[in-house]
């Protein structure tokens, strides 16, 4: 136990995305483009929504929240990866490692709950438009957003506390480019039975919103199909289409990680990890603004205001 604690204070070695130098170089260049695009894209979404009074409604406030979480989410892993690559270092301290793990769990879960809140918002808008302002009042919006953050942090905290009490004797090589909980648990020489159970609860908490989203879509489709006009159908599909794309991308990639765990390196795992840590947060703003006329108009206005002033 004493020996274990001693080695844990030395920190860990992040082996990288594939563990091979040449491929790490390629990913470094890729992330060098992806990360700034993520920051700028999501920041523009937040600015456009907050500067255009026509977008001051719950749907867009939730979207701004999603962008905010995406900025934080990619900032937890990517800058450290870029810095380590530049410095030719692979180390991460024990504290940094746990911090990364905490924010990865908390932010991924927050993202998941905000996607569910967005689905709920669309269901109410489509199924009872007359009572929309009652169900989705400013107060309930606030509670839904705060609730998402509280649940996510309550899920991350016990997982990280339990991991921090583990002993790591000898092997400190994390088979990933950031400290993710499953890679770290594999390195421990303590009994991880309870940790694994806690991690499964965390995965459960993460997946609850997915169930709600699926139910929401079933409700939306059953309502839309009862509407006789094709115009109504098209309108409903256009407001749900972007959300559906983001949801499939997000859960698809995260599920990929859980169903094919990173036991050893493989090309497929590397691609999935890069997808959900870096590519999905970058794509969200593009998916929402490309298909949405109001969003496009708000962005245009944002730019013309900047240019004229």
Residues that bind ligand NAG (CB under 6 A): 46, 58, 61, 64-65, 68, 141-142, 145
| Nearer CB in complex with ligand NAG: 149/221 | 149
Residue 208 CA, chain-centre distance (Å), reads 15
- Min dist CB 43 to ligand NAG, Å, is 10
Q: How far from 135 is each of 58, 77, 78, 271, CA to CA, in Å? A: 11, 37, 38, 40
Token pair 């703003």: residue: 285
| Nearer CB in complex with ligand NAG: 16/285 | 285
| Nearer CB in complex with ligand NAG: 27/62 | 62
| Nearer CB in complex with ligand NAG: 61/288 | 61
Instruction: Give the span between the Cα atoms of 297 and 284, in whole angstroms.
Output: 18
- Min dist CB 199 to ligand NAG, Å, is 29
Instruction: Give the span between the Cα atoms of 200 and 231, in whole angstroms.
Output: 44
- Min dist CB 286 to ligand NAG, Å, is 18
SS3 89: coil
- Min dist CB 86 to ligand NAG, Å, is 30
| Nearer CB in complex with ligand NAG: 58/202 | 58
- Min dist CB 138 to ligand NAG, Å, is 7
Q: Could you tell me where the DSSP H helices lie in the chain? A: 2-9, 21-51, 58-87, 94-127, 132-135, 138-164, 181-187, 193-226, 230-259, 267-274, 280-290, 293-308
| Nearer CB in complex with ligand NAG: 148/176 | 148
Backbone angles phi, psi at 227, to 5 degrees: -70, 125
Structure tokens at 146: 């705060």
Nearest-CB residue to ligand NAG?
A: 64
- Min dist CB 57 to ligand NAG, Å, is 9
């Amino acid at each position: 136990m004493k020996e274990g604690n001693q080695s844990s204070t030395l920190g860990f070695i992040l082996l990288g995305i594939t563990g091979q130098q040449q491929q790490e170089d390629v990913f470094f260049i890729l992330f060098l483009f992806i990360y700034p695009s993520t920051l700028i894209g999501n920041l523009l979404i937040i600015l456009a929504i907050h500067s255009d009074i026509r977008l001051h409604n719950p749907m867009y406030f939730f979207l701004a929240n999603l962008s905010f979480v995406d900025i934080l989410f990619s900032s937890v892993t990517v800058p450290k990866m870029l810095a380590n690559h530049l410095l030719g270092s692979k180390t991460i301290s024990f504290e940094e490692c746990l911090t990364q793990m905490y924010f990865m769990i908390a932010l991924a879960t927050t993202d998941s709950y905000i996607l569910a809140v967005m689905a709920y918002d669309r269901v109410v808008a489509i199924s009872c438009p007359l009572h929309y302002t009652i169900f989705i009042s400013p107060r309930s919006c606030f509670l839904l957003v705060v609730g998402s953050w509280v649940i996510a942090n309550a899920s991350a905290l016990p997982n990280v506390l339990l991991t921090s009490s583990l002993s790591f004797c000898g092997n400190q090589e994390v088979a990933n480019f950031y400290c993710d909980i499953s890679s770290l648990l594999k390195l421990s020489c303590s009994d991880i039975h309870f940790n694994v159970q806690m991690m499964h609860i965390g995965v459960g908490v993460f997946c609850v919103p997915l169930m709600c989203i699926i139910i929401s879509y079933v409700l939306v489709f059953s309502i839309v199909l009862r509407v006789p006009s094709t115009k109504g159908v098209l309108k409903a599909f256009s407001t749900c289409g972007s959300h559906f794309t983001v949801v499939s991308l997000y859960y698809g990639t995260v599920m990929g990680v859980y169903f094919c765990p990173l036991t050893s390196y493989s090309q497929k795992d590397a691609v999935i990890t890069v997808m959900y840590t870096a590519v999905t947060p970058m794509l969200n703003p593009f998916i929402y603004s490309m298909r949405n006329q109001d969003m496009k108009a708000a962005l245009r206005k944002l730019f013309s205001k900047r240019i004229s002033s």
